[in-house]
Amino acid sequence: MPLEDASAEFHDFFERHYVELARLAHLLTGDSDAADDLAADAFVALWHRWDRVQRADRPLAYARGVVSNMARNSIRRAVRERRRVALFWTRSTDRAEDPDVAAVVDVRAALGRLPFRKRACVVLRHAFDLSEKDTALALGISVGTVKSQTSKGLAELERILGRRATEELVGRRS
């Protein structure tokens, strides 16, 4: 395919999906500025592999996987950096969690408390309304793992936010 055709297709893909992928990055990282950067970096990576993206059965799922992997790596880098800083910090940086935060914690803060995989499964399944199969494809994990991680993530959210708030968040499912 000529470069100008590929460029036009990529531009169209970008226009259709940038907002969604930036939103996914924001929900996974909890940081809107980092999410915009992450989404932009993901599109750079997608452009470099555009021939592979075009051949994918589900290009958007492929793109979601790129964003999810980049978000996971970003979170890991931040955690490693915090640990390095803590090693050189003379005062204790540990903060006690207030066990009664459920009434105060908003949804993003509650999602931020979930481990990455649980958070990603809950976000993709409920905020993006993806099927278990599409979620598994986006994250590169099995459907069974999506089911268990989503269930465990929702249980943790229920513990943090309360049953009523969690049901409102994800909607009542039969």
Residue position matching structure tokens 């590929």: 6
Would the pLDDT of 98 be above 90?
Answer: no
pLDDT at 104: 34
Amino acid found at 83: R
pLDDT at 6: 86
Answer yes or no: same fold for 1-95 and 98-174: no
- Please determine, looking at this structure, whether the domain spanning 98-174 carries the CATH number 1.10.3720.10: no
Q: What is the CATH code for 1-95?
A: 1.10.1740
CA proximity to 121, closest of 106, 110, 107, 136: 136
Would the pLDDT of 3 be above 80?
Answer: no
pLDDT at 58: 94
> 132 versus 138: which is more confidently predicted?
132
Would the pLDDT of 36 be above 90?
Answer: yes
Domain boundaries, the chain: 1-95, 98-174
Please give the span between the terminal C-alpha atoms of the chain, in angstroms, as a whole number. 47
The Cα angle at residue 173 between residues 67 and 135, in degrees rounded to 5: 20
Amino acid found at 19: V
pLDDT at 84: 58
> 133 versus 165: which is more confidently predicted?
133
CA separation (Å) from 153 to 1, 17, 47, 88? 43, 26, 33, 33
110 contacts: CB under 8 Å, gap ≥ 6: 157, 160, 161
- What percent of the chain lies above the pLDDT cut of 70? 83
